[in-house]
Chain A
Amino acid sequence: MKDEQNGAPRTLPIQSATFSNPVNAEIRRASATGIYDIRGGGAKRKLPHFDDLLFLGASISRYPLEGYRERCDTNVTLGTRFAKNPIQLDIPVTIAGMSFGALSGSAKEALGRGATMAGTSTTTGDGGMTEEERGHSNKLVYQYLPSRYGMNPDDLRRCDAIEIVVGQGAKPGGGGMLLGQKISDRVAEMRNLPKGIDQRSACRHPDWTGPDDLEIKILELREITNWEKPIYIKVGGARPYFDTTLAVKAGADVVVLDGMQGGTAATQDVFIEHVGQPILACIREAVRALQDLDMHREVQLVVSGGIRTGADVAKAMALGADAVAIGTAALIALGDNDPKWEAEYNALGTTAGAYDDWHEGQDPAGITTQDPELMKRFDPIEGGRRLNNYLKVMTLEAQTIARACGKNHLHNLEPEDLCALTLEAAAMAKIPLAGTDWYPGKPGTSY
């Protein structure tokens, strides 16, 4: 209690950690509008992540490779199990599926340009394949989604791999949403829907349920495409052990595993922040499933969700992934959320770095929009150049770490190269806590 009359010190006002300002603001917003918050991006809360792991580096027992001179390869082949034409990539960082509709045609073009220069693949998304991305992507993965917007056998045959999307890390179990203001004539036509209406993408495939059906669906897709294309199955980070097992049993060539930090074009905030597991908790379980089936490296594992740097790439690979995929980071490389648009972000009630209303189509950077005026701000050639630079830096960073660990290929990174900084990370990644040889749940230990 305050007691000014006696001149006693006052109790400081204390903000509740539970009812924080953002929480209260959201309660007020919900009570004013009666609708939940929809936004783009991934989980914004702090989660156990790759930052909670460190590489040990070389020492007397392991010798390093010379940083600039000695070879450290980065190539990866995806789809070696059944496909006649596996995909060969120069670097293990791929561009994740992002829909045309969510992104402009020239943003898709820039992703294709950058990925092609860097020697990697890019991926379509909900809404079908555009000429911009097919034309500019040397290796293009074609997503097979529940909505089947724009799905057709010609594009199926001219892609380089097929990705059956079961789920996304941002919203495992959820579908999609594209608000009417982004449904231009072109988007509407590709999706066979009227212009300007809000479009829902179903959360489940319309013509199969469960792993037995999925196996037959894969057979159909292989028959249509002459068994040439690698078939990926993308799952959100929900039950990675079982999902990986079932994907392999259904006949996948590649499993794509997307953790809860993974971005989305638009979903309910409550979904993004409260459903799914962080990617750190998923990788070892997926790898264990592959090992139990004797399929590790035979079926490749691509992981995504919050990958930003070459260190993240190296850590994901040390945990057993064959490659990674990036979404949000690629958009930032193109110029999304750039502080140079700060005044315009402010006008939209936000700030550079926090802008996530990608679904509203008003992106000042001209990337997540279908507005012709905003789109003019984005140059796909410059965007492609920037993405290529960024992919090169990530690769050099990952190589730097691999050489320091004495590895002549990124694939040779292994769990033994790592230690964990927190108990949570130790438990999730099954990596010993720094300074110990122990992690929670380690076989042969009692707690």
Chain B
Amino acid sequence: MQTFDLEAQGLRALNSTLHAQADNSNQTHWEIVNPKGSHAIAVGLDAPIEVNIKGSTGYYCAGMNKQATVHVHGSVGPGTAENMMSGMVVVEGDASQYAGATGHGGTLVIKGNASSRCGISMKGIDIIVHGNIGHMSAFMAQSGNMVVCGDAGEALGDSLYEARLFVRGSVKSLGADCIEKEMRPEHITILEELLERGGCDAKASEFKRYGSARKLYNFNIDNAY
């Protein structure tokens, strides 16, 4: 395992070292100490490496991740794992706004709570939150799955497209075009796999499923002749 002291060596050195791992994959385990809330830590990774961040991070930690597993032993600032393509990001603490925004793939696990706009515009990512999520989460969510073991804030899934939302606790309110949907056996199967991947011990049967009513899909439907 390689240890990298972010405070001493700086962000540029960190990210360029991690980017160079694509060709040098015998160093597969990295530990980053002294993150101290810095922004853009471990962004744009594209190798099957494992990065452990010992502490909390600022904005966009693990942004655009591909292949790598990034584990934050602390909390994360806004936009963690934004636009992730593949791989896995695990946050032991809480996540600020827009966690997993526009993610195209991979898995984001937040063991604490996530703030507002979690999973905004998600495009295929799976997001599993052990705690609660804030308002306007899954706004315009296109595809992928979001699992919330706690409660969801106001306007969940506003203008939702085809993403699946599973919530165990209460939902303060649903956003425009988001409705509760029947939990069929295939959804239970999907959810069980997600819960296992996210390390949650909740039971799939305790969740409700929400999805798009698909009424906003055609802009002028009410006015059509």
Q: How large is the interface on B (under 10, 10 to 19, 20 to 34, 35 or more residues)?
A: 35 or more
For chain A, the count of residues having a C-beta within 8 Å of the partner chain is 33
A151 lies within 8 A of B83 (CB): yes
Give, as a whole number of angstroms, the nearest-CB distance from B34 to chain A.
17
Which residues A184-207 have CB closer than 8 A to chain B? Answer: 191-194, 197-198, 200, 202, 206-207
B12 lies within 8 A of A207 (CB): no
Which residues A134-151 have CB closer than 8 A to chain B? Answer: 147-148, 151
Chain B residues with Cβ below 8 Å from A81 are none
Check A153 for interface membership: any CB of B closer than 8 A.
Answer: yes
Which residues A308-360 have CB closer than 8 A to chain B? Answer: none
Check B101 for interface membership: any CB of A closer than 8 A.
Answer: yes
User: Chain B 48-89 against A: per-residue CB contact (8 Å), 1 yes, 0 no?
Assistant: 000000000011100110100000000000110011010000
Q: Which of B25-33, B36-44, B188-196 contacts A (4 or more CB under 8 A)?
A: B36-44
Q: Which listed residue (B66, B139, B161, B222) contacts A194, Cβ 8 A?
A: B161
Chain B residues with Cβ below 8 Å from A216 are 39-40, 58-60
User: Chain A 211-233 against B: per-residue CB contact (8 Å), 1 yes, 0 no?
Assistant: 00100110110011111000000
Closest to B41 in A: A223
Chain A residues with Cβ below 8 Å from B59 are 213, 216-217, 220
B223 lies within 8 A of A153 (CB): no
Check B21 for interface membership: any CB of A closer than 8 A.
Answer: no
Check A59 for interface membership: any CB of B closer than 8 A.
Answer: no
Check B208 for interface membership: any CB of A closer than 8 A.
Answer: no
Chain A residues with Cβ below 8 Å from B43 are 220, 223-224
Check A242 for interface membership: any CB of B closer than 8 A.
Answer: no
Q: Which listed residue (B64, B102, B218) contacts A180, Cβ 8 A?
A: B218
B60 lies within 8 A of A177 (CB): no
Check B121 for interface membership: any CB of A closer than 8 A.
Answer: yes
Chain A residues with Cβ below 8 Å from B121 are 147-148, 202, 206
Chain B residues with Cβ below 8 Å from A191 are 142
Check A24 for interface membership: any CB of B closer than 8 A.
Answer: no
Check A7 for interface membership: any CB of B closer than 8 A.
Answer: no
Check B162 for interface membership: any CB of A closer than 8 A.
Answer: yes
Chain B residues with Cβ below 8 Å from A225 are 44
Chain A residues with Cβ below 8 Å from B220 are 33, 35
Q: Mostly helix, strand, loop or mixed at chain B's interface? A: loop
A226 lies within 8 A of B19 (CB): yes
Chain B residues with Cβ below 8 Å from A153 are 44, 46, 64, 66, 83, 85
Distance A361 CA – B157 CA, assembled complex (angstroms): 30
Which residues A95-138 have CB closer than 8 A to chain B? Answer: none
Check A63 for interface membership: any CB of B closer than 8 A.
Answer: no
Q: Which listed residue (B19, B58, B102, B217) contacts A207, Cβ 8 A?
A: B102
Check A280 for interface membership: any CB of B closer than 8 A.
Answer: no
Q: Which listed residue (B11, B123, B140, B225) contacts A202, Cβ 8 A?
A: B140
Chain A residues with Cβ below 8 Å from B170 are none
Give, as a whole number of angstroms, the nearest-CB distance from A285 to chain B.
30
Distance A200 CA – B159 CA, assembled complex (angstroms): 10
Query: Given that A198-B219, A216-B59, A220-B59 are known contacts, is A207 also in contact with B40, CB under 8 Å in the complex?
Result: no
A197 lies within 8 A of B217 (CB): yes
Among B121, B218, B220, max chain A CB count under 10 A is at B121
Distance A179 CA – B195 CA, assembled complex (angstroms): 37
Check A85 for interface membership: any CB of B closer than 8 A.
Answer: no
Check B143 for interface membership: any CB of A closer than 8 A.
Answer: yes
Distance A331 CA – B190 CA, assembled complex (angstroms): 47
Distance A216 CA – B97 CA, assembled complex (angstroms): 14
Can you name 30 A-B pairs with beta carbons within 8 Å? A33-B220, A34-B222, A34-B223, A151-B83, A151-B102, A151-B104, A152-B104, A153-B44, A153-B85, A156-B44, A191-B142, A192-B123, A192-B124, A193-B162, A198-B217, A202-B121, A202-B140, A206-B98, A206-B102, A208-B78, A216-B40, A216-B59, A220-B39, A220-B40, A220-B60, A223-B11, A224-B44, A224-B63, A224-B64, A225-B44
Q: Which 10 A-B pairs have the closest CB atoms?
A: A224-B44, A207-B79, A192-B123, A148-B102, A197-B217, A207-B98, A207-B101, A220-B40, A153-B64, A198-B219
A residues with a Cβ closer than 8 A to B are 33-35, 147-148, 151-153, 156, 177, 179-180, 191-194, 197-198, 200, 202, 206-208, 213, 216-217, 219-220, 223-227
**8 extra interchain contacts, Cβ-Cβ under 8 A, other than A206-B102, A216-B59, A219-B39?**
A153-B64, A177-B219, A193-B162, A207-B98, A207-B102, A213-B78, A220-B40, A224-B64
